[in-house]
Amino acid sequence: MAWKAAAKLVYGTVGIDSLAGPSEVLIIADSSANPVHVAADLLAQAEHDPLAAAILLTTDADLAMKVVAEVKQQLINHPRRMLTEKAIAHYGLVVVVESLEVAAELSNEFAPEHLELEIEDPWSLLEKIRHAGAIFLGNSTPEAVGDYLAGPNHTLPTSGSARYASALSVETFIKSSSLIQYSPKALERVASAIDILATAEGLPSHADSVRLRVQDPAELERLDAEIPTAE
């Protein structure tokens, strides 16, 4: 939490990755999932932070009941029990859904940081997933493998930002500038479009800055002769 506070203070002055957190996992599971494993995966996120979210969407009501019982069982001697129980109590959720397609729709609404597809054929559902920071496929791929060994960056978008953001990468820290150069003839071709847009926006000087350049053929020729080129 101290790191997040420090990051907010320097944000915009120095490059930081994001103001990420709290951590999240959303698990989509069917009858092929092991309730002991699903419960452990939910607790693996809940133990991060009292604000961490641990959500299960399942098509199997029996699995849902078993997972709830197993979460309680695994919490009994949990070394971080107080913290983890708070997360489960406030941000833990088990929902029985009609179909895996419905689960995918709900997942896309949530846009989780971590998404586990603990289903018999995870690849068949993957095409319906639009928003997730990292997706873990199959019953043998818990989120912990991504944390420690699998290779994808562990810093992922949270709080719904997976709708528009991706995992941290080297590109995050690259600053670029746009280079724009129009020839006089190119400017002349787009002048009317710019005029229409600038006028519609109520910004006449924007329109003038283009119109005054293209209204005089002699000025266009002079500008064309002076245009520099990159060597």
Mean pLDDT by 10 residues, the chain (231 residues): 55 56 89 96 92 95 97 95 93 96 95 92 94 90 86 70 68 74 89 95 93 81 68 53
In this structure, are 111 and 201 located in the same domain? no
> Coil, strand, or helix at residue 92?
strand
Residues 6+ apart with CB under 8 A from 53: 22, 23, 24, 25, 26, 45, 87, 91, 92, 93, 112
- Whether the Cβ atoms of residue 20 and residue 3 lie closer than 8 Å to each other: no
Pairing outcome for strands 114-118 and 24-29: parallel
Question: Tokens in use for 59?
Answer: 């098509």
Q: Is residue 131 part of a domain?
A: yes
Q: Is residue 2 part of a domain?
A: no
Residues 6+ apart with CB under 8 A from 134: 113, 114, 115, 143, 146, 152, 156, 167
Residues with catalytic function: 113-114
> Coil, strand, or helix at residue 17?
coil
In this structure, are 86 and 113 located in the same domain? yes
In this structure, are 188 and 167 located in the same domain? no
> Cα–Cα distance between 166 and 132 in angstroms, integer?
8
pTM over 0.75: no
In this structure, are 222 and 168 located in the same domain? no
With both helix axes pointing from N to C terminus, report the angle between 81-91 and 35-46 in degrees, rounded to the nearest 10.
Answer: 100
In this structure, are 110 and 167 located in the same domain? yes
Domain count, the chain: 2
Q: Is residue 179 part of a domain?
A: no
In this structure, are 103 and 190 located in the same domain? no
Residues 6+ apart with CB under 8 A from 203: none
Residue bearing tokens 């245009």: 227
In this structure, are 80 and 143 located in the same domain? yes
In this structure, are 142 and 191 located in the same domain? no
We report the CATH number of the domain holding residue 144 as: 3.40.50.1980
Q: Is residue 8 part of a domain?
A: no
Residue 222 belongs to domain spanning: 184-226
Q: So what's the pLDDT on residue 221?
A: 74
Q: Is residue 166 part of a domain?
A: yes
In this structure, are 136 and 67 located in the same domain? yes
Q: Is residue 13 part of a domain?
A: no
Q: So what's the pLDDT on residue 3?
A: 45
Q: So what's the pLDDT on residue 218?
A: 75
In this structure, are 107 and 188 located in the same domain? no
In this structure, are 117 and 195 located in the same domain? no
Q: Is residue 177 part of a domain?
A: no
